[in-house]
Structures are given as C-alpha cells and as structure tokens.
C-alpha cells in the first residue's frame, strides 16, 4: 500500500477504482466533479468484467497488472477495504479512498459548527474510522433511537412527518411511538414494491393498534428527488440498497418536495434515500424556506455528503442549528440533524 503523500502527488495522473458497486458509482461521480480521471473499475466479481459502469469499463486485477501503467488504485468497497488492501499489500499503488478523502478534506470538516460536544466527538470518530479503516473508533459514539435521539425530534404533538426512504415503515412506527400516537399526518415514500407492500401491512396494524384514521398515514410508492416523472430503479441489490440507477430495470414514479408539498405544510423531514439526499433538498428549497421543518438527513452515502448537505442547509440563511450523530458500529448510519 502506498502513502497519502504518494496519492497526493499521483492522483491527477488517473486512477482505478476497486469496487464497481453503488459506492463505486458515487465515488466515480465525485471524481468527475473534482477533475480526477477514472481510468477503470477493478472488481473481483468475474460477472462484472468487461461491463461498463457509469461510462467506465470494469476489468480484473490480472488485466490491470497486464496494462502495467502504474496508476493508483483507490479501494471504494466500504465493507471490504481491509480485505482488499491485505490481499494486495505488496502492491505499492493501492490506497483506501475514504482514508484519502478524510485526510484531504480534514480542514473543511473542522470548519463545520455544531451545537454540542457529542457532535464534534462523533465527527472525530467518523473521520478516524475513514483514516484508519477501522470501525472501533465508532463504538464510543454510536447510539440508538436513530432520527429521534435529539430532543427537538421527539415528543412534539401535531407534527407532519415526511419519511423519505420509508422501507417497510419501521421509522414511521418509531415516530408514532415517539409522539404517543398524537400527530397530524405522516407521508411515507418507498419505491421498492416488496418493501412498499410490507409497509401497507404495517400501516393497517398501526391504525388498528393506535386507533388512527387511515387517511392520516399517506403511503406513496415513488421516489423523491430532483425530477417529476419516471426514473429507472435498481431493485436487484440487497433490499436496503435499492436505488435510482441508469442500469435499473424498473420504472418508478418520482416527485420533488417542492411539487408534492406545494400546498402542504410539513414539520419534520427524514431522508435515507441512497445518495439522492442533496438533490432532494435542492428541489425542496421552497418548501423548506416556507415550512422550516426539522431535518434528519443521512450523510454517509456519497463521499462529500456531510460537507455538501451541511453547507446547503446552512447557506439557506434560515438559522438552522446542527448536531451530528452516528447510529451503528459500522461505516453507515451517520445522520445530520438540522433544526431551528
């Protein structure tokens, strides 16, 4: 494995990305946006060899060695980075993408302003996890009650809760529990058919258990992002990672926050939508300005989500305050809490 200084010196000469999965595509987008030429993907999955992902060909490690072009290999397979680095420990061109990212943008992360010490400790742990390729740094900061762990985000009556990436409705159920069944409305959006159908079953049960009028829980089988219309949806990955993709085989309806809620008020918006969070916020700016809802936004999908989402909300100039929490002992489930 090479050093950070070596990466800094050579990254502009072009790189390969190890891992042609969802995270690889997000990193590819990041590289394009930042002037880094991605020569190709490398993946151990032989089914991916010779295929094109985001306009870039995927090859085997053997073919990479045959090319002998001495390009950097940035490892982007989040859950298997150490495995790949250990397997290729004798190759001086390998480096973990997250480690490079955390070191390069460390000063930018340190400029973020939070409301409590726990947020700064959480940021330190997340960055240490990225730099050291070790999740142990997260153990002391990880906590439960995701989306409802901060006092402004639970126990309020008459809320209108918007659940983006509702999955099977478990977060909506946690919301109902957090307010003792007393709320104005729930809007739950989930594009995956299997999960949406499961959410319908959960809705029926919740309405019976809490004596809730069914019309107070609105479920929508669609995406929320940057367009109104229909998009390609990839429903072939593990159920928690289904996402919008140009390679998706299913057509799903898509709406924007500004169009769907143009004549509706909201007080609480939660989003876990597989990398579409920033575009969703940009296309919900009018509603956010009008309603000033609490925002609980996942910031772990795309490489620069935390920086970009923080900056976007902060630059609205609405007086939002920020807290950061991490809700697992893995590299996922980091949430930015924004409230006025």
Report the pLDDT value the prediction gives residue 244, as an integer from 0 to 100: 54
pLDDT band at 204 (very low <50, low <70, confident <90, very high): very high
Pick from 93, 79, 23, 12: which is nearest to 54 by CA? 23
Q: What residue ranges of the chain are covered by domains with CATH 3.40.50.150?
A: 109-339
Please give the Cα distance from 235 to 277 (Å, whole number). Answer: 19
Report the pLDDT value the prediction gives residue 233, as an integer from 0 to 100: 65
Which token pair is 38?
């991605």
More confident residue, 241 or 253: 253
Is residue 240 scored above 50 in pLDDT?
Answer: no
DSSP 29-69: HHHHHTT--EEEEE-S-GGGTT-EETTEEEE-HHHHHHH--
Per residue in 152-172, pLDDT (tens digit) is 999 899 999 999 999 999 999
pTM of this structure: 0.93
Report the pLDDT value the prediction gives residue 81, as an integer from 0 to 100: 95
| Mean pLDDT, rounded, for 113-125 | 98
Report the pLDDT value the prediction gives residue 232, as an integer from 0 to 100: 80
Least confident of 87-91, 211-215, 229-233: 229-233
Is residue 68 scored above 90 in pLDDT?
Answer: no
Report the pLDDT value the prediction gives residue 32, as an integer from 0 to 100: 96
Which token pair is 78?
């989040």
Pick from 202, 201, 189, 192: which is nearest to 163 by CA? 189
Per residue in 4-35, pLDDT (tens digit) is 999 999 999 999 999 999 999 999 999 999 99
- The superfamily (CATH) of domain 4-104 is NAD(P)-binding Rossmann-like Domain (3.40.50.720)
Is residue 304 scored above 90 in pLDDT?
Answer: yes
Q: What residue ranges of the chain are covered by domains with CATH 3.40.50.720?
A: 4-104
Give CA separation, 102 vs 97, 124, 183, in Å: 9, 10, 40
| Mean pLDDT, rounded, for 262-280 | 97
CATH architecture, range 109-339: 3-Layer(aba) Sandwich (3.40)
Report the pLDDT value the prediction gives residue 1, as an integer from 0 to 100: 82
């Amino acid at each position: 494995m090479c050093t950070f200084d070596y990466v800094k010196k050579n990254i502009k000469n072009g790189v390969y990305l190890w891992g042609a999965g969802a995270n690889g595509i997000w990193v590819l987008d990041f590289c394009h946006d930042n002037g880094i030429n991605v020569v190709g993907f490398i993946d151990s999955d032989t089914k991916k060899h010779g295929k094109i992902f985001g306009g870039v060909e995927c090859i085997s490690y053997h073919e990479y060695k045959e090319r002998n072009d001495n390009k950097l290999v940035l490892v982007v397979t989040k859950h298997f980075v150490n495995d790949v680095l250990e397997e290729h420990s004798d190759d001086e061109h390998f480096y973990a993408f997250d480690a490079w990212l955390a070191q390069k943008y460390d000063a930018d992360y340190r400029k973020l302003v939070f409301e409590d010490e726990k947020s700064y400790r959480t940021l330190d742990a997340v960055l240490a996890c990225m730099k050291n390729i070790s999740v142990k740094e997260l153990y002391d900061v990880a906590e439960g009650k995701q989306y409802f762990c901060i006092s402004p985000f639970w126990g309020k009556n008459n809320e209108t809760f918007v659940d983006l990436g509702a999955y099977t409705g478990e977060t909506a159920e946690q919301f109902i529990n957090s307010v003792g069944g007393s709320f104005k409305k729930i809007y739950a959006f989930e594009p995956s058919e299997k999960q949406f159908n499961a959410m319908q079953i959960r809705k029926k049960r919740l309405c019976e258990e809490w004596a809730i009028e069914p019309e107070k829980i609105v479920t929508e089988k669609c995406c929320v992002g940057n367009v109104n219309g229909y998009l390609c949806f990839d429903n072939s990955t593990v159920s928690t990672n289904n996402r919008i993709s140009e390679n998706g085989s299913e057509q799903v309806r898509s709406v924007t926050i500004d169009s769907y809620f143009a004549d509706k008020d909201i007080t609480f918006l939660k989003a876990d939508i597989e990398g579409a969070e920033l575009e969703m916020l940009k296309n919900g700016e009018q509603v956010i300005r009008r309603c000033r809802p609490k925002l609980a936004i996942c910031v772990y999908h795309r490489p620069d989500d935390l920086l970009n989402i923080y900056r976007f909300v902060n630059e609205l100039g609405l007086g939002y305050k920020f807290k950061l929490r991490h809700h697992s002992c893995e590299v996922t489930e980091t949430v930015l809490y924004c409230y006025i």
